[in-house]
Structure 1
């Protein structure tokens, strides 16, 4: 296991100090399932994953956490490849696999550096629960997407969840953050439009990038993905947005996006 006290300048590409502390904090993994037990987004993304991953195959879960999305798919006939930077998260996943004799292989890797996974190795891939937004730097996020496409077989599907940048305008302090972010980020090398820091589960400064739709679409297409479906989520992330044509910029909490590696 790597040392958690690594200095900031030695952190892996795309990994912020907050994320590094997150993956090396045991209670984050140990309490994860209980902490999110009543999060209804899991029902929505689970239904979408089952619909998109419609034939048994090998599913790569990028940033798998405790396997809350992967394990149900494996129970329904898929095989699993659980990929995460956190040894603690992978320990929980492996425990679930051992307890129920599930065909899940665990791989510890930084999502920016998944070179150990072979080209065309998986039938499906997913990166759920805002995991892509935890990667700092647009170039690094594009590397994650590049790897997702690379490890998919031609015709393979990739399902992704992200948060909507403009939804922050609905928070009491959100408009001031948006104004400050848009005004300062273009003139700073260390911040991009959409970068946020906030306290999270005892960690003082967790990083999350929130996306504008055109930004995300451009990133997916830049690595060769074809976008096949976009599901806008309502304010509570409980279900798809009703009347998605009505002020979608302000009403959409985030998106679940399905992309495909084209046949070659």
Structure 2
């Protein structure tokens, strides 16, 4: 089965539809209610520091599960180009609006996509397209088959590229 057909079939999955609806529903209150929680804010600051230390020089990064862009925006401000994928179109709308408002929108690309469908990016971006990648705060926890994710990352990331994951 072709990757795009498999991705379409997974998108029809009741779990995937439920998950998408949940994150779309949270998007408008995410920063206020969840991300600005004291514990979450401290954890986000720590992950942002680790990402900045890991990706010091501007490069082309892949982010899985960007949410509202808590880690994305600082990396864009450092000069990185980031392709953000997320299952929620509403989350992607928010990260795009933030990037544009801060004058870094030209370095941001977004794609509504679940982590298990990353192989769809191969046709658009080619093999070894990204110099690094990351996923924090639950996107990978929501994936029922991480083998699909690791296989796609093996193709999309350049040899010896760093991939930081927080689960």
Residue 5 of structure 2 is matched in structure 1 by none
* Structure 1: gaps spanning 5 or more residues: 1-9, 163-264
TM-score (ref. length: structure 1): 0.52
Residue 34 of structure 1 is matched in structure 2 by 32
The structure richer in helix per residue is: 2
On the 8 A contact 1:23/1:88 being kept in 2, the answer is no
3-state SS of paired residue (2:27): helix
Asked whether 1:53 is paired with 2:55, we answer yes
Asked whether 1:111 is paired with 2:109, we answer no
Question: How far does the alpha carbon of each residue in 1:33-83 deviate from its partner, in whole angstroms, 9 at most, with x for none?
Answer: 112113111011111111111211011111111111111111111111110
Quick one: which of 147, 152, 158 aligns to 2:152?
147
Q: From the superposition, tell whether residues 16 and 126 of structure 1 become closer, same or farther in structure 2 (CA, over 3 Å).
A: farther
CA distance in 2 between counterparts of 1:20 and 1:71 reads: 27
The structure richer in strand per residue is: 1
3-state SS of paired residue (2:120): coil
Matches within 5 A, 1:126-205: 126-136=134-144, 140-162=145-167
On the 8 A contact 2:60/2:82 being kept in 1, the answer is yes
3-state SS of paired residue (1:144): helix
On the 8 A contact 1:84/1:109 being kept in 2, the answer is yes
Residue 130 of structure 2 is matched in structure 1 by 122
Aligned length: 148
TM-score (ref. length: structure 2): 0.80
Asked whether 1:67 is paired with 2:69, we answer yes
Give the C-alpha shift of residue 22 in structure 1: 3.6
Q: From the superposition, tell whether residues 16 and 145 of structure 1 become closer, same or farther in structure 2 (CA, over 3 Å).
A: farther
